[in-house]
Amino acid sequence: MEITSAQYVVMFGVNDNISATINGIKMTVPLDPANRHYAEILRQVAAGTLTIADAD
């Protein structure tokens, strides 16, 4: 899974989801550990190969 960007999206003052580009497709990834995309984002963050940018 190639993740080229990841940024938090804030709703009502809290992080609601992550806007990410995965395999070239822009996706909205929920903050659910059971979601395979979020699990992969967490894995890559832990491995130091990906950083989740703060929300604008």
Which residues here bind other proteins, judged by CB under 8 A? 9, 11, 16-17, 22-23, 25-39
Task: Give the shortest CB-8-to-other proteins separation in angstroms.
Answer: 12
Task: Give the shortest CB-52-to-other proteins separation in angstroms.
Answer: 15
Choice between 29 and 52, CB closer to other proteins: 29
Asked whether 29 and 17 are in contact (CB, 8 A), the reply is yes
Q: Look at residues 22, 15, 17, 42 and name the one whose alpha carbon lies nearest to residue 5.
A: 22
Choice between 2 and 54, CB closer to other proteins: 2
The bridge status of strand 3-11 relative to strand 14-22 is antiparallel
